[in-house]
Amino acid sequence: MSKIGIGFIGCGGIHNNHAKALADNPDAYIACAMDVNEDAVKKHQGNYGTECGTTRLDELLANDAVQAVVVCTPTGLHPEHAIAAAQAGKHVLCEKPMALTVAEAERMAQACADAGVVLQIAFVRHFCNEWLKLREIIQSGAIGRPVVWRSVSASGGPASPWFFSKKLGGGPFIDGAVHNYDFARFTFGDATGVCANLRTMRDDSDAWDTGTAIVDFTAGDQLIMCWSWGLPKSETRISAGSAHDILGPGGAITFTGEALKVTTPAGEELVSFEPDGGLEWFKKQMAHFIGCVQTGSQPETGGREGIEATRIAEAILNIGDQPAVVKL
């Protein structure tokens, strides 16, 4: 079987993880790279040796060597780029979040279905040993069910300003938090409702960058997020850190990304797992996508996963626009 030619739409920071993931894959290669910024294209070509580079989307999509694309542009541009790729007959691996609204995500999924191409959303935690072990422990009932997952994270956020644009990135409660929404759905089942209190702390942001959101799920499980990208920027990244605690009627799990500690009335247990660095997640994710392209099978993180995670995010952001406040 011949190698799958992969084209990149967008050569910004996240694209490097996908490009590196292709380096050791025997079934695919980078056929072309596209970005509206010519310098970004040239940098990609220098780093990865890709001969074909362009600043024009139509030129990349007209390239017969490109059989599939990885969409790595700002979220607000995902629908335009993914739909154009599908209509050109290219399979699509789209970075998360799938889109800024459910309507746009549904348009993307429909376009790929109509064209008969694979659509995978880059929810990389589905391919990570640490996160899969956490899910296994929760679903085993080791600390009882339902559980409350408390996620706390605070930093100055990403460097690129588009992440703080309501029209392009949407802020942390969609761009970063969508990983939590998706993984919570993967672990707990569908969401049933949300509530939130959001605010903007940064002068250079027109998106909500700080606040608390709560998501309820069908079996009574709950996700509580206290997140911020509102800390000041500096040459040295300022961060208050991040952590995940899962609390159940029979105990608790603490997860920092480096260790899993399960605490029950019987005592504390450090749960071992085979650690894999972030690039390994991307390698597994890319291999899954290429396999789906080769076989025509449905990706584990397809359009429905992208749509439902976007549904949670959109509901939370809409509450931020019209917060309900009970005055005491």
Q: Is residue 328 part of a domain?
A: no
Q: Is residue 160 part of a domain?
A: yes
Q: What is the pLDDT of residue 103?
A: 98
139 shares a domain with 227:
yes
pLDDT tens digit at each of 328 positions of the chain: 689 999 999 999 999 999 999 988 999 999 999 999 999 999 999 999 999 999 999 999 999 999 999 999 999 999 999 999 999 999 999 999 999 999 999 999 999 999 999 999 999 999 999 899 999 999 999 999 999 999 999 889 998 999 999 999 999 999 999 999 999 999 999 999 999 999 999 999 999 999 999 999 999 999 999 999 998 875 444 555 568 899 999 999 998 666 789 999 999 888 877 767 779 999 999 999 999 999 999 999 999 999 999 999 999 999 976 766 666 6
Residue 216's H or E segment, with its range, is strand 210-217
95 shares a domain with 75:
yes
Instruction: Give the other-Cβ count within 10 Å of 148's Cβ.
Output: 16
217 shares a domain with 109:
no
Instruction: Give the other-Cβ count within 10 Å of 226's Cβ.
Output: 14
Residues 25, 283: Cα–Cα separation, whole Å? 8
Q: What is the pLDDT of residue 255?
A: 81
215 shares a domain with 176:
yes
Residue 287's H or E segment, with its range, is helix 278-295
207 shares a domain with 82:
no
227 shares a domain with 109:
no
Q: Is residue 311 part of a domain?
A: no
Q: Is residue 145 part of a domain?
A: yes
Q: Is residue 142 part of a domain?
A: yes
- Taking a C-beta distance cutoff of 8 angstroms, is the pair 237, 249 a contact? no
| Domain at 137, CATH number | 3.30.360.10
Residues 111, 106: Cα–Cα separation, whole Å? 9
77 shares a domain with 31:
yes
- β-bridge partners, 212: 197, 226
170 shares a domain with 284:
no
Q: Is residue 319 part of a domain?
A: no
**Total of domains in the chain:** 2
Q: Is residue 316 part of a domain?
A: no
Q: What is the pLDDT of residue 233?
A: 72
30 shares a domain with 109:
yes
142 shares a domain with 220:
yes
| Domain at 49, CATH number | 3.40.50.720
113 shares a domain with 163:
no
pTM for this entry = 0.94
Give the domain range for residue 172: 129-275
232 shares a domain with 115:
no
Task: Please write the tens of the pLDDT for every residue from 73-104.
Answer: 999 999 999 999 999 999 999 999 999 999 99
Place of tokens 């392209």: 293
Residues 193, 222: Cα–Cα separation, whole Å? 10
Q: Is residue 17 part of a domain?
A: yes
b/e code 248-284 from CB counts within 10 Å (16+ = b): beebbbebeeeebebeeeeeeeebebeeeeeebbbbb
DSSP 150-210: EEEEEE---SSGGGG-TTTT--TTTTTTHHHHHHHHHHH--EEEEEEEEE---TT-SS--E
